[in-house]
Amino acid sequence: MAWLAQARGRRVLELALLYQMKKREWAFVAACVAGAVLFGVWSFQMGIAFHRSRQGSTDLSSSHRRSQNGSSASSPARPAADDSDEQARKPQ
Protein backbone atom coordinates (compact mmCIF):
# COMPACT_ATOMS: atom_id res chain seq x y z
CA MET A 1 0.00 0.00 0.00
CA ALA A 2 2.92 2.36 0.56
CA TRP A 3 3.78 2.27 -3.13
CA LEU A 4 0.18 3.26 -3.97
CA ALA A 5 0.43 6.29 -1.68
CA GLN A 6 3.77 7.20 -3.28
CA ALA A 7 2.30 6.82 -6.77
CA ARG A 8 -0.65 8.99 -5.81
CA GLY A 9 1.69 11.56 -4.31
CA ARG A 10 3.75 11.60 -7.49
CA ARG A 11 0.62 11.86 -9.59
CA VAL A 12 -0.63 14.77 -7.50
CA LEU A 13 2.75 16.44 -7.89
CA GLU A 14 2.71 15.85 -11.66
CA LEU A 15 -0.80 17.27 -11.91
CA ALA A 16 0.24 20.29 -9.85
CA LEU A 17 3.22 20.87 -12.13
CA LEU A 18 1.02 20.43 -15.19
CA TYR A 19 -1.49 22.90 -13.72
CA GLN A 20 1.33 25.38 -13.14
CA MET A 21 2.56 24.92 -16.70
CA LYS A 22 -0.91 25.58 -17.99
CA LYS A 23 -1.09 28.76 -15.91
CA ARG A 24 2.22 29.90 -17.36
CA GLU A 25 1.08 29.09 -20.86
CA TRP A 26 -2.12 31.07 -20.38
CA ALA A 27 -0.12 33.96 -18.96
CA PHE A 28 2.16 33.83 -22.01
CA VAL A 29 -0.81 33.74 -24.39
CA ALA A 30 -2.46 36.62 -22.53
CA ALA A 31 0.76 38.66 -22.70
CA CYS A 32 1.08 37.99 -26.43
CA VAL A 33 -2.53 38.96 -27.08
CA ALA A 34 -2.15 42.13 -25.01
CA GLY A 35 1.00 43.05 -26.91
CA ALA A 36 -0.68 42.41 -30.25
CA VAL A 37 -3.68 44.54 -29.26
CA LEU A 38 -1.44 47.38 -28.08
CA PHE A 39 0.62 47.20 -31.27
CA GLY A 40 -2.55 47.16 -33.35
CA VAL A 41 -3.95 50.22 -31.59
CA TRP A 42 -0.63 52.06 -31.95
CA SER A 43 -0.38 51.11 -35.61
CA PHE A 44 -3.94 52.23 -36.27
CA GLN A 45 -3.30 55.59 -34.59
CA MET A 46 -0.11 56.09 -36.59
CA GLY A 47 -1.98 55.29 -39.79
CA ILE A 48 -4.72 57.78 -38.95
CA ALA A 49 -2.12 60.45 -38.13
CA PHE A 50 -0.28 59.75 -41.38
CA HIS A 51 -3.40 60.02 -43.50
CA ARG A 52 -4.47 63.19 -41.74
CA SER A 53 -1.09 64.75 -42.45
CA ARG A 54 -1.42 63.82 -46.15
CA GLN A 55 -4.94 65.21 -46.59
CA GLY A 56 -5.61 68.52 -48.25
CA SER A 57 -5.69 71.66 -46.18
CA THR A 58 -8.83 72.68 -44.35
CA ASP A 59 -10.29 76.17 -44.35
CA LEU A 60 -8.58 77.02 -41.08
CA SER A 61 -5.17 75.81 -42.12
CA SER A 62 -5.37 77.45 -45.55
CA SER A 63 -6.36 80.80 -44.00
CA HIS A 64 -3.53 80.40 -41.51
CA ARG A 65 -1.17 79.62 -44.37
CA ARG A 66 -2.39 82.69 -46.30
CA SER A 67 -1.64 84.93 -43.32
CA GLN A 68 1.84 83.43 -43.04
CA ASN A 69 2.48 83.81 -46.78
CA GLY A 70 1.50 87.47 -46.58
CA SER A 71 4.08 88.13 -43.87
CA SER A 72 6.77 86.05 -45.54
CA ALA A 73 6.35 87.88 -48.85
CA SER A 74 8.25 90.82 -47.38
CA SER A 75 11.25 88.64 -46.53
CA PRO A 76 13.92 88.36 -49.21
CA ALA A 77 13.88 85.30 -51.43
CA ARG A 78 16.77 82.86 -51.22
CA PRO A 79 19.03 83.14 -54.24
CA ALA A 80 18.97 80.15 -56.57
CA ALA A 81 22.09 78.00 -56.75
CA ASP A 82 24.23 78.31 -59.82
CA ASP A 83 24.84 75.24 -62.00
CA SER A 84 28.57 75.79 -61.73
CA ASP A 85 28.31 75.74 -57.93
CA GLU A 86 26.54 72.37 -57.98
CA GLN A 87 29.11 70.85 -60.32
CA ALA A 88 31.98 72.19 -58.21
CA ARG A 89 30.58 70.36 -55.15
CA LYS A 90 30.31 66.98 -56.92
CA PRO A 91 33.54 64.94 -56.92
CA GLN A 92 34.61 63.69 -60.29
Tens of pLDDT, residues 12-36:
888 787 777 788 888 999 999 999 9
Domain boundaries, the chain: 1-45
pTM of the model: 0.41
Once rounded to an integer, what is the mean pLDDT over residues 71-80?
A: 55
Once rounded to an integer, what is the mean pLDDT over residues 65-80?
A: 57
**For a pLDDT cut of 70, what percent of the chain falls above it?**
52
**Residue 12 is which amino acid?**
V
CA distances from 74 to 24, 35, 47 (A): 68, 52, 38
- C-alpha span between 81 and 92 (Å, rounded): 19
Q: Which comes out higher in pLDDT, residue 66 or 30?
A: 30
Residue 23: what pLDDT?
Answer: 83
